[in-house]
Structure 1
Amino acid sequence: MTQITNLGAEKIILGIDPGTRYLGYGLIRITRDKVHVLQYGVLNLTKYTTQGAKFLKIHERVMGIVEEFMPDEIAIESPFFGKNVQSMLKLGRVQGMVMSISFSKGIPITEYEPKKVKQSVTGNGNASKEQVAKMVEIISGIKLDGKLHDATDALGIAICHHFHNKNISSSVKGTQKGWGAFVNENPDRIK
Structure 2
Amino acid sequence: MPPSPEHADGLIILGIDPGSRHTGYGVLAVEGERARVLAVDVIHLDEQAAHPLRLLRLFEQLGAIVERYRPDECALEMPVYGRNPQSMLKLGRAQAAAMLAVLTRQIPTVEYTPKEVKKALTGRGNATKEQVRFMVQALLELPAEAARLALDASDALAVAVCHWQHRTCPHAPRRYSSWARFLREHPERLE
Q: State the TM-score, normalizing by the size of structure 1.
A: 0.80
Q: Partner residue of 2:130?
A: 130
Q: Secondary structure at the match of 1:126?
A: coil
Aligned partner of 1:38: which letter?
Answer: L
- Check if 1:150 corresponds to 2:152: yes
Aligned partner of 1:133: which letter?
Answer: R
Q: Closer, same or farther in 2 for the Cα pair 1:147/1:101, shift >3 Å?
A: closer
Q: Partner residue of 1:71?
A: 71
Aligned partner of 2:31: which letter?
Answer: T
Identity of aligned residues (%): 41
Could you list the per-position Cα deviations for residues 10-54 of structure 1 after superposition, in whole angstroms to 9, with x for gaps in the alignment? 000000001012111011110112010111001112444211221
- Check if 1:82 corresponds to 2:82: yes
Q: Closer, same or farther in 2 for the Cα pair 1:34/1:168, shift >3 Å?
A: closer
Report the Cα distance in structure 2 between the residues aligned to 1:149 and 1:168, rounded to whole angstroms.
Answer: 28
Contiguous gaps of at least 5 residues in structure 1: 1-8, 171-191
Report the Cα distance in structure 1 between the residues aligned to 2:111 and 2:75, rounded to whole angstroms.
Answer: 6
Q: Partner residue of 2:23?
A: 23
Segments of 4+ in structure 1 off by > 6 A? none
Could you list the per-position Cα deviations for residues 62-82 of structure 1 after superposition, in whole angstroms to 9, with x for gaps in the alignment? 000000001000000001211
Please give the root-mean-square deviation of Cα atoms over the aligned residues, in Å. Answer: 1.7
Q: State the TM-score, normalizing by the size of structure 2.
A: 0.80
8 A contact 2:165–2:171 mirrored in 1: no
Q: Secondary structure at the match of 2:127?
A: coil
Q: How many residues align?
A: 162
Contiguous gaps of at least 5 residues in structure 2: 1-8, 173-191
Once the two structures are TM-superposed, the CA of residue 122 in structure 1 deviates from its matched residue by 1.0
Aligned partner of 1:98: which letter?
Answer: A
Alignment of 1:1-191 (within 5 A): 9-143=9-143, 144=146, 146-167=148-169
Q: Partner residue of 2:183?
A: none
Report the Cα distance in structure 2 between the residues aligned to 1:169 and 1:122, rounded to whole angstroms.
Answer: 17
Could you list the per-position Cα deviations for residues 157-177 of structure 1 after superposition, in whole angstroms to 9, with x for gaps in the alignment? 00000000112899xxxxxxx
The farther-off stretch of 46-55 and 32-41 is 46-55
8 A contact 2:137–2:147 mirrored in 1: no
Report the Cα distance in structure 2 between the residues aligned to 1:151 and 1:115, rounded to whole angstroms.
Answer: 17
Once the two structures are TM-superposed, the CA of residue 129 in structure 1 deviates from its matched residue by 0.8
